[in-house]
Structure 1
Amino acid sequence: MGKTPKVALACAVLLVAGGGVAVVLANRSNSATSGAHKTLQLSTVTVVQKDLTTYTETTATLGFTTSTIISSPVAGTVTTIVTTGDTVDAGNIVATIDGNPVVALIGDIPGYRDLSTAASAGADIRQLEINLVSLGFDPNAKIHIDETYDSATAAAVTLWEDSLGLVGNGKVPQSEVVYIPGKVLVDTVSATVGGAAQSGSTLLTGRLAERRYLVTSTVAHGGVVDRFAAATTAVATGTVLFWDAGMPVVAIEGDANATPALERDLKIGSVGADVKVLEQMLSAGGFDPTNAMTIDDHFDAATSAAVTAWWQSLGMTVDTNAAIVVPAGSYVVVPSGLFVGNPTVADGTTLAGDATVLSLTRAAREVTTTAPIGDATFALGATIDVEFPDATIQPGIVVAVGNVATNTSNTPGATPSVPITIHVDTIPPAVDSFVQIPVTLRVVADSAPRAFVVPVSALVALAEGGYAIEVVTGKAPDGSDATKLIAVTPGLFANGFVAITGDQVQAGQNVVVPS
């Protein structure tokens, strides 16, 4: 019996230029498109069609954006106080001074006076009423959330004070409340039990873990609220936050301490600062294209026409023959830089009265880095992947590009850099205990969408030049796999894979790889 001759294949290792990856160099006499041969044992993978992407990575920092100081509203001896690591939220007792509780409520207006039915109207009363309603101390929905401290407000205050172990009398002394802009994580406690506190002295310092700006439904003092703006929507002048009894409730950026919300119906003949706020919104939204409206304190025919245009732009049917009336509660004035948070009631809820229905927020933690001036990768609104230490990856959006440039490299002539702020909606719990922590930004450097992709090890570098992949074509008579080489052109390399092109390349082909 004659011996079957053995064919020796001379192989070497070749580094693909620029890729730093090894492929097999085969000394084959057959061309790249012919020469089926037999292999007894073959390891194969499938050609897949998918996006292939490479990234440039840089280090950034995730950290809290705002530090908050809670000060004593009264002088006296500290008898109890929260401890480091505690959370302070609406309704929590921060400390007791001379045995009397100091309670945290949500709001941007600091307490500056005692409040009772004898108090003059003011935005601080509205702020108190929002908290009383939110905390459940108006069970019969008697409070109209406004700037007037009336008997319904006093009744809710009495319930609240009773819940604190006090003898409720319907009055709120300034010493009883501190207002905070949201949920606070306590970092440092400055006051000590038994020590003296002065009015205005620091009790504690903390991180703002959740910014809250509470928005209320007051259009109909009860009714259906629906069509809430999507969570994480950036709030600007003209953003419709929700619909209340069939009417839009819109945000207007401005000084909420001066005019926190529309407190009355507006119509032709109405005069006041609240009219001017409305007209500014209508003008900014482009609802007075002929500039017929004068932005002042007077609601006139031009104002009415602009309101009609606004409502029609929202899909409302407007009877142009009827007098236009903008109902109380149709707008709320909000600080700038907020996002829509989660509704506090379900979409389509029928309310029994005035209620808090939505919280506006700002990211408690942001990712910060620097980038050269004009770097389009970090342009405002750009999307950048953020990789956290637990290996989870979340999309981030550039929300701020600074205007103070510095030479961070200290190299003369180098392009100056500006600070960059990136917002990430979902931050993994694994980093919650860190005030600051490094993260990795993954910026797309190159991509090959819907490319034919194989492992780099599937590439065969031919002795005569060029590259091929070895494709299984079927079974040989002896039962082994029959293969052939087909010419390919390597493209993008990423994470051990390569994008390939070639006339005969198809998704689903079985390709030989080293075993």
Structure 2
Amino acid sequence: MSRRRRGRAGKVVAVATAVAAVGAAAVAGFGLPDRGSEAQTRSQTPAKTAQVTKQTLVDTQTEDGKLGHGDTTTVVGKLPGTVTELPAVGASLQRGQAVYRVDNTPVVLLYGALPAYRTLAPGVKGADVKQFEQNLAALGYTGFTVDEEYSSSTAAAVRKWQGDLGLTKTGTVDLGRVVYASGPVRVDERKAAVGDPAGPGATLLTYTGTVPVVTVELDAADQRMAKLGTAVTVKLPDGKNVPGTISQAETVIKPAQGNNAAVTKIQVTVVPDDPQAFAGLDQVTAEVGFTADRKENVLAVPVAALLALAEGGYGLQVVDGATNRIVAVRIGMFAAGKVEVSGDGISDGTVVGMPS
């Protein structure tokens, strides 16, 4: 994936250049003082100057992302038998619908974060029971209490549910009869065909979410850009700009390959404010503009104006007519080649020297 960097991305290079090119000259030519004090006045006026200005700094960065439907999840069979039906690629499935059919009976999609890991029957207790009962209630079945106990009342509702699905009315939910997802799913790829063994352990299909998203991989050093809920701008292949929001950010480790060491990335998921904005687009590249920070009415100078002080920190060469002096400054936010500064004698309109 190609990468574009703007805004603060230039900071490291600029600061390094300023330190390397200007630091030695500052020490030798200006007689740098202790930090926080002013140097002796000099008569030599720098050939190039800039002004301290009050302005708004915005820390932005643009990265290439992949427009699709997010991460894929694999469905593995748990019920023995034969695959008799698989959904079409691209099909959207809702709660209560069949993810696939084994021996002509449905394996049903339900919503929840906890995967099915055991058979549910009267007397069983736990968070998985409550999750299942929440789904049963959402599908319109009644006569039981949604809690962590699989009661005889739950079993009675399950028998009604099983009858509606064409299953044997046992009142027990066998392991493998349901598949849990966080919400509606979109079938991404078939991994089996009708007539194949259904399991246990058979890979049957993969799915994604149904909402189109843009996925971006940021360097670990750019984690400041990946704040949940932050607004971003997505530039589509046709040049149209679409507003979006960061919905997810997680740290992922890319394994070592050949001579390349493992690297840590921040995987960011962006959803459009208008879901229809990405309609008809899939597996294409889109530019995502991130904004990490914004500061109004701060004093700023070009990053290149910074001088590396011998005792540590940074300073500016303040020019006053035919004289100049070195003033230690505190630095803040970097953005678009500028840096926020503050210090004694630094104000809007202060003239500072620039390295030649």
Shorter-normalised TM-score: what interval? Answer: 0.5 to 0.7
CA separation of 1:135 and 1:439: change in aligned 2, threshold 3 A: same
Q: 1:418 & 1:402 partners in 2: Cα distance? A: 6
Structure 1 equivalent of residue 192 of structure 2 = 191
Asked if structure 2 preserves the Cα contact closer than 8 Å seen for 1:373 and 1:405, the reply is no
Please give the alpha-carbon distance, in whole angstroms, between the structure 2 residues aligned to 1:156 and 1:444.
Answer: 51
Q: Which has the larger radius of gyration?
A: 1
Q: Deviations over 1:304-333 (max 9, x none)?
A: xxxxxxxxxxxxxxxxxxxxxxxxxxxxxx
SS in 1 for 2:161: helix
Aligned-residue RMSD, C-alpha: 4.1
Equivalent residue, structure 2, for 1:94? 99
Provide the residue aligned with 1:436 in structure 2. 283
Q: Which of these residues, 376, 385, 394, is aligned with residue 233 of structure 2?
A: 385
Q: Match for 1:133: what amino acid?
A: A
Query: What SS class does the counterpart of residue 174 from structure 1 fall into?
Result: coil
- Residue 109 of structure 1 aligns with which residue? 114
Letter in 2 for 1:113: R
Q: Separation in 1 of the partners of 2:139 and 2:287? A: 40
1:375 Cα deviation from its structure 2 partner? 8.6
The 8 Å contact of residues 384 and 398 in structure 1, kept in 2 or not, is answered as: no
Q: 1:143 to 1:196 in 2, by over 3 A?
A: same
Q: SS state of the match for residue 125, structure 1?
A: helix
Whole-Å separation in 2 of the counterparts to 1:198 and 1:85 = 23
CA distance, structure 2, for counterparts of residue 405 and residue 171 of structure 1: 42
**Alpha carbons 2:252, 2:267 under 8 Å: kept:** no
Check the 8 A contact 1:93/1:103 in 2, yes or no: yes
State the alpha-carbon separation in 2 of the partners of residues 81 and 398 from structure 1.
Answer: 31
- Counterpart in the other structure of 1:202: 203
Q: Choose which of 79, 83, 100 in structure 1 pairs with 2:88.
A: 83
Tell me, yes or no, if structure 1 residue 162 matches structure 2 residue 166: no
**TM-score normalised per structure 2:** 0.53
Is the contact between residue 247 and residue 271 of structure 2 (CA under 8 Å) also seen in structure 1? no
Instruction: Evaluate the alpha carbon distance shift between residue 169 and residue 426 of structure 1 in structure 2; reply closer, same or farther with a 3 A threshold.
Output: same
SS for the counterpart of 1:373 is helix
Residue correspondences, number? 233
Aligned match of 1:396 in 234, 238, 245? 245
Larger displacement relative to structure 2 (186-195 or 431-440): 431-440
SS in 2 for 1:149: coil
How many Å apart are 1:161 and its aligned residue? Answer: 1.4
- Aligned 8 A contact 1:68 1:208 in 2: no
Contact preservation (8 Å) 2:64, 2:216: no
Q: What is the CA–CA distance in structure 1 between the aligned matches of 2:82 and 2:121, rounded to whole Å?
A: 26
Q: 1:422 to 1:181 in 2, by over 3 A?
A: closer
Distance change (3 Å), C-alpha of 1:71 and 1:89: farther
- Which amino acid in 2 is paired with 1:174? L
Structure-to-structure mapping, 1:310-325, within 5 angstroms: none
* Shift in alpha-carbon separation, 1:130–1:404, aligned structure 2, 3 A: closer
Any conservation in 1 of the 2:70–2:269 contact (CA below 8 Å)?
no
Equivalent runs, 1:116-155 vs 2, <5 Å: 116-117=121-122, 119-138=123-142, 142-155=143-156
- Amino acid across the alignment from 1:157: V
> What is the CA-CA distance between 1:172 and the residue it aligns to?
2.1
Q: Secondary structure at the match of 2:185?
A: strand
Q: 1:144 is paired with a residue of what secondary structure?
A: coil
Shift of 1:84: 1.4
Q: Cα gap change, 1:67/1:137 in structure 2, threshold over 3 Å: closer, same or farther? A: same
CA distance in 2, matches of 1:158, 1:417: 49
Q: Which amino acid aligns with 1:195?
A: D
Shift of 1:109: 3.0
Shift of 1:76: 1.0
Q: Paired residue for 1:180?
A: 181
**Distance across 1 between alignment mates of 2:128 and 2:264:** 43
Correspondence for 2:221: 373
The answer for unaligned runs of 5 or more in structure 1 is 1-50, 211-363, 407-415, 450-515
Corresponding residue of 1:247:
none
Q: Deviations over 1:11-39 (max 9, x none)?
A: xxxxxxxxxxxxxxxxxxxxxxxxxxxxx
Q: Assess if the C-alpha contact under 8 Å between 1:398 and 1:420 holds in 2.
A: no
Deviations 1:227-255 (A, max 9, x none): xxxxxxxxxxxxxxxxxxxxxxxxxxxxx
Give yes or no for contact 1:400–1:421 (8 Å, CA) kept in 2: yes
Q: Structure with the greater relative contact order (CA < 8 A, sep ≥ 6): 1 or 2?
A: 2
Deviation at 1:372, TM superposition (A): 8.2
Distance across 2 between alignment mates of 1:403 and 1:191? 29
Distance 1:389 1:122, change over 3 A: same
In structure 2, the CA distance between the partners of 1:369 and 1:398, relative to structure 1 (3 Å rule), is farther
1:420-443 CA deviation, whole Å, 9 max, x = no partner?
A: 625345254253454433222346
**Is the 1:73–1:177 contact (alpha carbons within 8 Å) kept by the matching residues of 2?**
no
How far apart, CA to CA, are the structure 1 residues paired with 2:145 and 2:250?
42
Amino acid at match of 2:74: I
Q: Relative to structure 1, is the Cα distance of residues 81 and 399 closer, same or farther in structure 2, using a 3 angstrom cutoff?
A: closer
Provide the C-alpha distance between the structure 1 equivalents of 2:121 and 2:251, rounded to a whole number of angstroms.
Answer: 45
> Which residue type is aligned with residue 373 of structure 1?
A
- Quote the Cα distance in structure 1 between the aligned partners of 2:105 and 2:236: 44
Tell me, in whole angstroms, the C-alpha distance in 1 between the residues paired with 2:134 and 2:126: 13
Change in CA separation of 1:374 and 1:368 when aligned onto 2, cut-off 3 Å: closer
TM-score normalised according to structure 1 size: 0.38
Task: Find the aligned partners of 1:209 and 1:133 in 2 and give their Cα distance.
Answer: 23
2:270 maps to 423
3-state DSSP class of the match of 2:184?
A: strand
Displacement of 1:365 in angstroms is 3.1
Decide whether the 8 Å contact of 1:73 with 1:200 is kept in 2. Answer: yes
